[in-house]
Amino acid sequence: MKRTSLKITAIWLFLTITAAAAYAQGICPPAKITGDLESILSRGYCLFIDGKYKAAQTEFEKALKKDPGNPVALNNLAAIMVKQNKLDKADTYLKEALPRAKGYMMLVNRVCGVQDICIAIEPYKVGTGNQDLGQLVEMNLRMVEAKMAAQKGGAGAGYPGLPSQ
């Protein structure tokens, strides 16, 4: 009887620890990637979706030191600025990213929307892949510019022509 109780307790403890670890990884597991740059971008993305914007910004700035002008890092810095309602800075980052983003191929691991204005990206691999980052950066830039125009004109929801709320 005592052995059975001990086995049940051990199994329960194992399952609890395993479930906790699986849950923690499920929140934001960094992409299973091999590249150093991709690892930095992945950490930044995970910090971003966890709401740790300052730490995420630090990671994206590390990526820029490693690869100056990296369009993924610049795009994701713009997403942070959108989250902080610093649309002028987001606009600047996206305009800086756009020339290099055109033709910048990558495999995307995950994306997340930011206030229906901007999309942050977690790459699986950069430099090769099936996604042209230029289209995404252009879309983000158009949405940020529309939101800025809407704020100046008093329209709501970030899109010109919608009534104020």
Under the banding of pLDDT at 50, 70 and 90, the label for residue 5 is low
Domain count for the chain: 1
State the CB neighbour count (10 A cutoff) for residue 66. Answer: 13
Residue 45: what are its φ and ψ, rounded to 5°? Answer: -60, -45
Give a yes or no: residue 159 inside a domain. Answer: no
Alpha-carbon span 144 to 82, nearest angstrom: 8
What are the pLDDT digits (tens) for 43-61?
999 999 999 999 999 999 9
| 8 pLDDT higher than 80 | no
Give a yes or no: residue 23 inside a domain. Answer: no
Give a yes or no: residue 156 inside a domain. Answer: no
| 165 pLDDT higher than 60 | no
Give a yes or no: residue 71 inside a domain. Answer: yes
User: What domain range is 134 assigned to?
Assistant: 35-151
Q: What is the CATH number of the domain that holds 145?
A: 1.25.40.10
- pTM confidence score: 0.74
Give a yes or no: residue 52 inside a domain. Answer: yes
What are the pLDDT digits (tens) for 123-143?
877 777 888 899 999 999 999
